[in-house]
Amino acid sequence: MLMSGGVDSSVAAYLLKEQNYQVIGLHFKTVSDVIFSLIPEKKKVCCSPSDTQDALKIANKLDLDDFQIVDIKKEFKDKIINYFINTYKEGETPNPCMLCNRFFKFGKALEIANTYGADLVSSGHYLIKEYSKKYSTYIIKKGVDQYKDQSYFLSYIDKNTLPYLYFPLGNMYKVQIRDIAKKIGLSVANKPDSQELCFIPDNDYRRFLKQHGVNPKEGKVYDLEGNEIGTHTGYMNYTIGQRSGISYYKNADVKLHVYKIIPQNNILIVAPTEKMYSNELIVQDVNFFVDFDQVEGFCRVRKKSEEKPAVVNKISDNTLKVSFKEPIFAVTPGQFATIYDESGVVLASGVIN
């Protein structure tokens, strides 16, 4: 059982005990505790020293069969932090949580489970895993709580892990989880949800990049016609669709957004709002849960966006073309696109190219 120290994983562990499972708690340490004393949290993040203490308290209160704190700092730096830094260097916008879920929460955790002879890895995520008769395979799909659904964030985990995963909260609502936590006297019943990256407690990614040797330099800003119209503070400080942080030589008559980032020349190209909409995108490094050549479904292009109707065509074994039925705003290279069917089943996901 993945134990973050939050209310969701704590109640999930309790429910497993109620279902007569033997439960072994795993708590990952992704970065050094000293980071949280040097850089105080602005909002709640996971994997902090207080989270470790909370997870340990819950494990003791629930009388788990075992509890293990797992140091993954070196592997996490290699696979997640370096990816985060390098993606910004390439002028794209990363989503490290997607890779953390793939490699650690539902990768490394399975390796550890095997050493125990455990049958399943469980967590407090809000999504449903089940065997689909329609697709003749195990699938994941949206949890019933649409406001807490985490199917997008787990859409890049390895399909081969699905038979060994269990999500006890998928058919429950957040309010039910907090009610259970209060009823059984868990100290984390009212604990806020984690919102930011575990390795950047203050959520200041620009400070983090500078701290890790990425020193942005002022560059030029051009419009779509190739006219130089302003300056920026360094291309890695921007993402597609952004409006703030640009100095123009004169006041623009229209709202301008970052349209394209050219990292090798430290250049931003900006465009008015109406030019920021796309009808299609290409997805690479695709993770298929269900194989298909063409499907009509829905595509989500970032964590806080709605799914939009689209026709999705398989171009190769690791590439998809997504054609939207209505244009979408600010498609961002480096982010992940997730494809759903009409019932909320995750069909595939991959990196927007």
Is 78 part of any known ligand binding site? no
CA atoms within 13 Å, Cβ hemisphere of 285:
15
* 97 labelled catalytic: no
DSSP percent split of the chain into helix, strand, coil, nearest 5: 30, 30, 40
Beta-bridge partner residues of 281: 322
Neighbouring C-beta atoms of residue 155, cutoff 10 Å: 25
Is 4 part of any known ligand binding site? yes
Is 28 part of any known ligand binding site? yes
Cα end-to-end span (Å), the chain: 35
Among residues 46, 47, 97, 100, the one annotated as catalytic is 100
Is 124 part of any known ligand binding site? yes
Contact (CB, 8 A) for 173 and 145: yes
Is 76 part of any known ligand binding site? no
Cα dihedral 174, 176, 177, 182 sign:
positive
Is 2 part of any known ligand binding site? yes
CA angle (121, 122, 125) in 5-degree steps: 140
Contact (CB, 8 A) for 157 and 101: yes
Tokens of 351: 């990196």
Is 8 part of any known ligand binding site? yes
Q: 260-283 burial string, b = 16+ CB within 10 Å, else e?
A: ebeeeebbbbbbeeeebeeeebbb
φ, ψ (nearest 5 deg) of residue 185: 75, 35
* 299 labelled catalytic: no
Among residues 46, 47, 97, 198, the one annotated as catalytic is 198
Beta-bridge partner residues of 128: 141
Is 230 part of any known ligand binding site? no
- Going by the annotation, the residues of the binding site for ATP are 2-9, 28, 124
Indicate which residues carry an active-site annotation.
Answer: 100, 198
Q: Which residues sit in the known binding site?
A: 2-9, 28, 124
